Chains A and B, each alone.
Chain A
């Protein structure tokens, strides 16, 4: 189906460490942001004349400001534990995609200007001047890191390449070499409230359409409330949930859960985005602007709780940084986690029996679960360690009869990135995205063949879009990726649901899906 202009990696029976191919991905770099996208975020419109001095100064500022960054730069002992842990290295074979090599692009410049040995005997300590060539290398390879943090799990010092890649991107933005995809989106979200650029009337129209669909299907009036003052819960969800598939089926799932549990909730047209791309470019200021929109919406609507929908990095920002960026949230009900993940909400309601699930609603699928990197390695859920792994799986198991995990090395804290995270989900990086997905595709193929898995569920908008795009390159169908709350939506028993007709329709649909699958 998909025609590639590059070689799609072959899926082997078991993971192997590929032979290095120097500069295999040296040609891959995303479009540079034009002036209009740069200046909106307060960055220079193009590469400034004295970029070298400004970049070096910025590097000093960042290593001073973020202690972690300077520790990561100082503490690497070149043990090599990280080398075969990056999905982009495994999929592209380019040695600069080994985490240590990626870090060293930054580290060698840091050493040259900020360590004594590097200043005196640069060649002996691997220190190098910042040149235009080095800057180009940065642009190329710091846009081949999805900031998924898998390498940091295996590093004996816990060095986090994601943080180095964020710092590198921030420095590049500061000197006028930003990335189009991220910066255009951040600018849009700051004006319109979401990454898509979805204006309020379009949002209203979309939500009304969904209400009709649910009523047609179930006979139950499930609301998709927007800007309802005095609601208990403010749902902040990625705007992809309003637009793309299978995201929108997840949104329907959240709505059904709130409806059935009798929780009053609303979305906000002012803060209609969970995603926060400010994190991808390492910009605290830009990250804060979006976070403050959420705070403002919560205050304006007078809600008691904030719940986040299925979005990986949004949950990292929410769970780890929201209070610092936009707190204190002392005006919210402190009996609930601030903020809360939709999976935590649904999980609790399943546990206490408030919502009932009929697993047969998903009998046409055999499922596996893809842990999204930012949820798995940069946040948590619930009140027990590892809750971010068990809670989504508990929800899936409660919603379906057939579930199998992928091989252990590829899930939970060892999960492979989808290949499109960290601001790389753009068509100009499609080769990187396809190749970077290889380790995940290999693991998926294994459970497909051994356990008859037909669908993979996820709780991240980027993962969902990435998989539906790259699946065909690996002979999967694009609709084999589903939202976790889509499974809940298929299984939830709504009070007053008209069973007769809708059941028949459902089973018809299921049959046709199976047929599609077989085809």
Chain B
């Protein structure tokens, strides 16, 4: 089902992940999060932005541990754990945050 933002339509796959990574813009993340009923805060954005940076370099989302370490450095040690990330993204930091960041869903036994 495509997502509509500012009158423009963006193609997604069956699970709502953006079909074309290059089409991503911040407004899309906002729209997805609003549709899920949990608007993005600054902390959410830290995660989303880190995912995008990491993806740009490595063509894959970071391992949960890599993500928690990076977030711990940016937001403080008490937030550098997966418990905190799950509070931010209850459907899982790897999957939900990737979706907002416009990245493909991690596949496999994860």
Task: Name A's B-contacting residues (CB within 8 A).
Answer: 1-2, 31, 180-181, 184-185, 188, 194-199, 201-202, 205-206, 209-210, 213, 238-240, 242-245, 248, 275, 311, 425, 427-428, 461-462, 464-465, 469, 478-479, 516
Partner of B109, one of A31, A195, A197, A428: A195
Most A-side CB within 10 Å, residue of B57, B66, B104: B66
- Say yes or no: A205-B109 contact (C-beta < 8 A), given A243-B63, A245-B82, A478-B86: no
- Say yes or no: A275-B108 contact (C-beta < 8 A), given A31-B14, A199-B58, A427-B95: yes
Complex contacts, A244 vs chain B, CB 8 Å? 63-64, 94, 109-110
Whole-angstrom distance from the CB of B35 to the nearest CB of chain A?
Answer: 16
Q: Is the CB of A465 within 8 A of B110?
A: yes
Q: Is the CB of B59 within 8 A of A202?
A: yes
Q: Is the CB of A245 within 8 A of B64?
A: yes
Complex contacts, A461 vs chain B, CB 8 Å? 109-110
Majority secondary structure, B binding face: loop
- Say yes or no: A206-B109 contact (C-beta < 8 A), given A196-B60, A201-B58, A428-B15: no
Distance in angstroms between the alpha carbons of A244 and B62 in the assembled complex? 10
Report the contact-size class of chain B (Cβ under 8 Å from the partner): 20 to 34
Q: A185-B108, A243-B110 are in contact. List 14 more A-B contacts (CB 8 A).
A: A196-B108, A199-B60, A202-B59, A206-B63, A244-B64, A244-B109, A248-B63, A248-B64, A311-B109, A428-B15, A464-B109, A465-B109, A465-B110, A478-B86
Distance in angstroms between the alpha carbons of A202 and B57 in the assembled complex? 9
Complex contacts, A188 vs chain B, CB 8 Å? 107
Q: Is the CB of B108 within 8 A of A239?
A: yes
Complex contacts, B60 vs chain A, CB 8 Å? 196-199, 202
Partner of B58, one of A180, A181, A205: A205
The answer, yes or no, to whether B74 is at the interface (CB within 8 Å) is no
Distance in angstroms between the alpha carbons of A271 and B62 in the assembled complex? 20
In the assembled complex, 17 residue pairs joining A and B whose CB atoms fall closer than 8 Å, in A order, are A31-B14, A184-B107, A185-B108, A194-B108, A195-B107, A195-B109, A205-B58, A206-B63, A209-B63, A209-B69, A243-B108, A245-B65, A245-B82, A427-B15, A428-B14, A469-B92, A478-B86
